[in-house]
């Protein structure tokens, strides 16, 4: 789809912010400080391995374990997701408040514990869930009402990134899948690309927050963040 006004404004802000390398004066110190906090090197396809089950695609029609339900499936939003939701007229789905996770939830995986303790979780909003912990974008018939303009975390799932291992893997949270020929199944490439994009967009978010906060305020995105 052509970008809506918020998303277009966000893209224009990124172009304006990165017109000159960020590490040139007068931004050098700011850039160095940010790079100590956040790894600013984007991931490319050749930087990661894709691990097993290699080239699975989900069989959502046969699934009884819907990944759009439950606190552990809370979707954290990137700035592009927020801008897209506003452009779609679905700002009602954006929530700054986070669900409360039990200690057991927090400790159930290293990746989750790390994420829940991260700036990304604290600062950025999530998709609203209803009183039964179902994503509020899910229809009564268990269809995603945002597809195909869903958040990046949804576009990549069940593919996920293990940054330490530089590995894109198929999440064990998805129990229903087919193994496919990755060359002829375009969904595999789409999900691998979305996995990398989800990571790289977070870098972009932190760069914009650090180097262009006034611009984000101007286009009305900071009001959705916990700053
Ligand atoms: S858990 Fe897997 S198969 Fe089930 S709805 Fe989610 S992606 Fe589809
Ligand atoms: S946006 Fe769609 S795919 Fe993502 S959690 Fe909600 S219903 Fe599921």
Mean of pLDDT values over 10-16: 97
Q: What is the pLDDT of residues 160-191, one digit of tens each?
A: 999 888 999 988 889 888 888 877 888 889 99
Question: Of the residues 142, 174, 179, which should be mutated to test ligand 1's pocket, given the most ligand atoms within 8 Å of the CB?
Answer: 174
Between CA 188 and CA 192, with CA 124 as vertex, the angle to 5 degrees is 10
Contact 219, 20 (CB under 8 A): no
- pTM attached to this predicted model: 0.93
Domain ranges of the chain: 5-224
Ligand 1 in reach of 153 Cβ (< 6 A) = no
Confidence of residue 54 (pLDDT cuts 50, 70, 90): low
For all residues of the chain together, what is the average pLDDT?
91
Closest C-alpha among 170, 149, 163, 9 to residue 77 = 149
Confidence of residue 33 (pLDDT cuts 50, 70, 90): very high
Q: What is the pLDDT of residues 141-165, one digit of tens each?
A: 888 999 999 999 999 999 999 988 8
Q: How far is the CA of 17 from the centre of ligand 1 (A)?
A: 38
Can you give the pLDDT at residue 196? 96
**CA–CA distance, 98 with 223 (Å, rounded to integer):** 15
Can you give the pLDDT at residue 1? 64
Question: Of the residues 135, 138, 158, which should be mutated to test ligand 1's pocket, given the most ligand atoms within 8 Å of the CB?
Answer: 158
Q: What is the pLDDT of residues 113-132, one digit of tens each?
A: 888 889 999 999 999 999 99
Can you give the pLDDT at residue 108? 77
Percent of the chain as helix, strand, coil, to the nearest 5: 45, 10, 45
Contact 104, 159 (CB under 8 A): no
């Amino acid at each position: 789809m052509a970008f809506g006004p918020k998303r277009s404004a966000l893209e224009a802000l990124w172009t304006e912010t990165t017109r000159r390398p960020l590490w040139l004066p007068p931004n050098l110190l700011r850039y160095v400080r940010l790079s100590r906090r956040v790894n600013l090197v984007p991931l490319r396809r050749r930087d990661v391995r894709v691990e097993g089950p290699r080239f699975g695609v989900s069989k959502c029609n046969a699934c009884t374990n819907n990944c759009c339900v439950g606190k552990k499936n809370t979707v954290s939003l990137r700035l592009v997701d927020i801008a897209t939701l506003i452009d779609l007229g679905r700002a009602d789905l954006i929530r700054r408040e986070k669900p409360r996770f039990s200690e057991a939830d927090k400790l159930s995986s290293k990746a989750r514990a790390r994420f829940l303790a991260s700036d990304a979780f604290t600062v950025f909003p999530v998709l609203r869930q209803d009183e039964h912990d179902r994503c509020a974008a899910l229809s009564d018939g268990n269809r995603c009402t945002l597809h195909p303009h869903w958040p990046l975390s949804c576009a990549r799932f069940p593919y996920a990134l293990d940054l330490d291992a530089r590995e894109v893997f198929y999440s064990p949270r998805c129990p229903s899948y087919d193994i496919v020929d990755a060359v002829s199944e375009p969904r595999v490439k789409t999900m691998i690309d979305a996995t990398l994009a989800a990571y790289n967009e977070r870098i972009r978010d932190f760069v914009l927050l650090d180097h262009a906060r006034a611009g984000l305020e101007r286009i009305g995105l900071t009001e959705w963040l916990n700053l």
